[in-house]
Amino acid sequence: MELDEMKLAWQSLDRRLEEHLALNKKVLLQEKRSKASGKLRPLVWGQGMQMIIGSIMALMAAGFWSVAHDIPHSLHSMRRDFGTCVMAALDSPDDGSVCLGLWF
């Protein structure tokens, strides 16, 4: 075997190795994408349900708000206190127990 033949053989092997590595990389990427989409599917369903339920709750709250003119003042203040507690619970690092003092 001459030197030129050996160079051609090595180049051929190198080319085949590069093709094999590219194919393996493509298969690995497809496998990772399918696993990721499978793991994210429940999140997509949850977000969709949250949007639907949130829209329904917003419509119900709007309906309640429009007819709340004859509700006693104490219910209005309790609703305001509840909203304040929700915002405080979201902003505070503890469990939000600071709001219990408003109601008890």
Please check the confidence at residue 18 and state whether its pLDDT lies above 60. Answer: yes
The pLDDT, as a whole number, for residue 42 is 86
How far apart (Å, rounded) are the C-alpha atoms in residues 24 and 18?
Answer: 10
Q: So what's the pLDDT on residue 25?
A: 96
Q: For residues 47 and 104, which has the higher predicted lDDT (pLDDT)?
A: 47
> C-alpha angle with apex 81: 75 to 83, nearest 5 degrees?
105
Q: What is the pLDDT of residues 39-86, one digit of tens each?
A: 888 888 888 898 998 888 888 877 776 666 666 555 556 666 777 776
Taking 50 as the threshold, does the pLDDT of residue 104 lie above it? no
25: which DSSP letter? H
The pTM of the full predicted model, rounded to 2 decimals, is: 0.42
Per-residue burial over 46-65, b = 16 or more CB atoms within 10 Å of its CB, e = otherwise: eeeeeeeeeeeeeeeeeeee
Residues near 81 by beta carbon (within 8 Å), at least 6 away in sequence: 99, 102, 103
- Looking at this protein, which amino acid is placed at residue 20? H
pLDDT at residue 41 in the model: 87
Residue 70 burial (CB count, 10 A): 5
Q: Which tens digits make up the pLDDT trace of 20-43? A: 999 999 999 999 999 988 888 888
CA nearest to 78, candidates 102, 60, 45: 102
